[in-house]
Homo-oligomer: A and B are copies of this chain.
Amino acid sequence: MVPFRVDRWLLQEANKIVEPVGVHIELRSNALTTGTSGRPTIRVVNGQTLAHLLFNPDLSFGDAYTRGSLEIDGDLVSVLERLFECTSRLPKWISRLKTVWLRHVQANSLRGSRRNIRHHYDLPTDFYQLWLDRELIYTCAYFPERQATLEEAQQAKLKLICKKLWLKAGETMVEAGCGWGALSLYMAREYGVRVKAYNISHEQIVFARNRAREQGLSGEVEFIEDDYRNIHGHFDAFVSVGMLEHVGVEHYRDLGRIIHKVIGDSGRGLLHFIGRNFPKPINLWIQKRIFPGAYPPSLREALEVFEAQDFSVLDIENLRPHYALTLRHWLDRFEYSYDLVAGRRGEEFARMWRLYLAGSMVAFNLGTLQLFQVVFAGHRCSTVPWTRNDGKRAIERKPMDDVWIPAMC
C-alpha cells in the first residue's frame, strides 16, 4: 500500500533527525512504531503532518502542536531543548521565504504596529492575570536570589531600572510601551518623578489608567494611548522595557531621533529588550502566531538607535538567565491555570500559549535569545554617576564659563 510505504519512509527520515538527541517519533494513526524504550516521544497523528514537519518545521511544529495533531510524551521543555538542536539541520528555505514575506505584511508602520500589538496585548487582562505576577509585568524579571518569588523579582527589576537611571524626585520621565503601567506607577510612587507613559494597546492603557486612579497617582502618571512616534515634550529621562522587539530594525534610527527629540543632549535613558548574539530571523511560528511584526535584534543592530544621536552607551547588562527563570515561573503558573484557560478560550489557544512559553524558556536557557538592558546618555549629560555602585554622586564636568562646548575630535 503506497501511503503506508510513504508514511514509513517519512517516519524513518524524521527519526534519523531526532534520534541523535534522544527523541523518538511515532505515528499515532497506525502501528508504525519502532519501539520507544521510555525515551521522550513525539506522537504525530498522520503522515501528512509528518511531511509538513520535515519540510517546514519552524511553522508546522507549532501549528501541529496547537491543533493537537502532535502530542509529546515526556516533559515539554526538555523535549523542546532537544529539538532546538536537531531542527537546525532541517531545510529552512520555506520558513526563510515566509519570514521575509511576513516582515513585509507585518511592517511596523503606525497602522501596522497597532494591528501587530493588538494581536498579542489586547487579549483580556484577566487572561494575563492568571499567570503573570500581581502587578502584571510582562517582561524579564530580576532575581537578586534565585529563590526569590516572581513577585519579588519583578519588584527588584523595577528597582534595578530606577537605580540604573539614577532618578531624582521632581524629574520627568517618558515611558514608551508601558504595558499595564507597573513601571511608571512605581517610578512615580517610589521616586517622586512625573511620568508620561505611551502604549498603543487599548486594553492595557484602560487598565493602567484605572490603577493610577486607584493608587491616587493620576496627577503624577499620565497614560497616553498613542504610538512612540507621537511622543512629544521634553523629559529628563526615557525608558522602554520590552518595546524595541516590536519596533523593527528599519525604524531604529527613527526611534533614536525621537528619543533625542525628547531628552536632548542632556538626558539619559534605558532600553530593555530581547536580543541575540547575532542577527537571525525570528522563528516563523512565533512571528506568525504569537508576535506579528516582532524581531529580537543583535546588540550590534540595537546600537543603531544611539550612534546617529551621539548618545553614549554607559552600561549594558545581559539578564538572559533571569528571563529563563521568569519564564519558568510563568509556565508553572500557566500550567496551574491550564484548564481555566482552555475552558475560557479553547484548547488550541491554551496549547499554543503553553508551547510559546515553554519554547521561549528553552531559547533563553540555551542562549538563542538574550536579554539586554542598555543605559545611555546624551553627550552633555552632566549627572552620570561616578561608578556603578554610586547612584548619587555625579561626575564633575569642569564648568566652561558660558562657553558652549560640543563634541569633536
Residues of chain A whose beta carbon lies under 8 Å from any beta carbon of chain B? 21-22, 78, 81-82, 84-85, 87-88, 143-144, 146, 277-280, 283, 298-300, 303-304, 306-308, 310-318, 320-321, 359, 363, 365-370, 372, 379-380, 384, 386-388, 395-398, 400-401, 403-409
User: Given A311-B277, A312-B277, A82–B318 Cβ distance below 8 Å?
Assistant: no
B384 adjacent to A88 (CB under 8 Å) = no
Name the one of B317, B321, B367 contacting A379, with C-beta atoms under 8 angstroms. Answer: B367
A278 adjacent to B307 (CB under 8 Å) = yes
A313 to B276, CA, bound (A): 9
User: Given A366-B408, A406-B85, A317–B388 Cβ distance below 8 Å?
Assistant: yes
Number of copies: 2
Query: What residues on B are CB-neighbors of A81 within 8 Å?
Result: 398, 400, 405
19 contacts between A and B (CB under 8 A): A78-B398, A81-B405, A84-B409, A85-B406, A88-B406, A144-B387, A146-B396, A277-B311, A277-B312, A277-B379, A277-B407, A298-B307, A299-B313, A300-B304, A300-B307, A312-B318, A312-B320, A359-B409, A388-B388
B84 adjacent to A408 (CB under 8 Å) = yes
Query: What residues on B are CB-neighbors of A84 within 8 Å?
Result: 405, 408-409
* Contacts A312-B320, A316-B316, A366-B409 known; 11 new A-B pairs at CB < 8 A: A22-B401, A78-B398, A85-B405, A146-B386, A146-B396, A277-B313, A299-B313, A315-B316, A321-B395, A366-B407, A368-B409
B386 adjacent to A321 (CB under 8 Å) = yes
Query: What residues on B are CB-neighbors of A313 within 8 Å?
Result: 277, 299, 316, 318, 370, 372
Nearest B-chain residue to A279, judged by Cβ: B307
Nearest B-chain residue to A367, judged by Cβ: B379
Name the one of B21, B144, B300, B312 contacting A370, with C-beta atoms under 8 angstroms. Answer: B312
Query: What residues on B are CB-neighbors of A321 within 8 Å?
Result: 384, 386, 395
Q: What does DSSP make chain A's interface, helix, strand, loop or mixed? A: loop
A78 to B317, CA, bound (A): 35
* Most-contacted residue by chain B among A82, A318, A401 (CB, 10 A): A318
Query: What residues on B are CB-neighbors of A310 within 8 Å?
Result: 277-278
User: Given A386-B146, A405-B85, A406-B88, A306–B277 Cβ distance below 8 Å?
Assistant: yes
B314 adjacent to A21 (CB under 8 Å) = no
Nearest B-chain residue to A316, judged by Cβ: B316
Nearest B-chain residue to A362, judged by Cβ: B409
A388 to B310, CA, bound (A): 27
Nearest B-chain residue to A308, judged by Cβ: B278
User: Given A306-B277, A387-B144, A85–B300 Cβ distance below 8 Å?
Assistant: no
User: Given A313-B318, A388-B317, A277–B307 Cβ distance below 8 Å?
Assistant: yes
Query: What residues on B are CB-neighbors of A363 within 8 Å?
Result: 409
User: Given A144-B387, A318-B315, A408-B87, A82–B299 Cβ distance below 8 Å?
Assistant: no
Nearest B-chain residue to A401, judged by Cβ: B22
